[in-house]
């Protein structure tokens, strides 16, 4: 275990965070941040799913089978790259949440 020091100002601010001990408060902050980021990813993923009428795996399969109209247009290529990035980030935040839940 590593020891850290916190300023009185930070300790005072941590009083409003749920938890009895500092470790529990920090885990709660980590969880809240991860949930917020996960929600942002899911909102963006929903935008792409709504725009294209598919989930990402179906979109990827159609992309690979040349079934996407205007596949090489700037907007469609950008959508693919951004969507893929948000899918990756979503998985990263889900893993992070599982990891911190195991520690609590």
Q: Is residue 32 part of a domain?
A: yes
Task: State pTM to two decimals.
Answer: 0.85
Q: Is residue 97 part of a domain?
A: yes
Q: Is residue 12 part of a domain?
A: no
Q: Is residue 55 part of a domain?
A: yes
Q: Is residue 10 part of a domain?
A: no
pLDDT at 56 over 80: yes
Q: In whole angstroms, how far apart are CA 75 and each of 31, 45, 59, 64, 98?
A: 34, 15, 14, 17, 34
Q: Is residue 18 part of a domain?
A: no
* Structural domain boundaries enclosing 76: 23-103
For residue 67, how many C-alpha atoms fall within 13 Å in the half-sphere facing its CB? 9
How many domains would you assign to the chain?
Answer: 1
Q: Is residue 51 part of a domain?
A: yes
pLDDT at 2 over 90: no
Tell me what pLDDT residue 48 has. Answer: 98
State how far Cα 68 lies from the chain centre.
27
């Amino acid at each position: 275990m590593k020891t850290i020091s916190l300023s009185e100002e930070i300790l005072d601010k941590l009083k409003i965070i749920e938890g009895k001990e500092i470790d529990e408060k920090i885990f709660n902050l980590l969880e809240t941040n991860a949930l917020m980021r996960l929600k942002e990813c899911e909102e963006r993923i929903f935008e792409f799913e709504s725009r294209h009428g598919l989930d990402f795996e179906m979109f990827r399969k159609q992309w690979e089978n040349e079934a996407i109209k205007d596949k090489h247009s700037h907007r469609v290529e950008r959508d693919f790259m951004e969507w893929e990035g948000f899918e990756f980030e979503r998985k990263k935040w889900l893993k992070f949440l599982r990891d911190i839940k195991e520690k609590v």
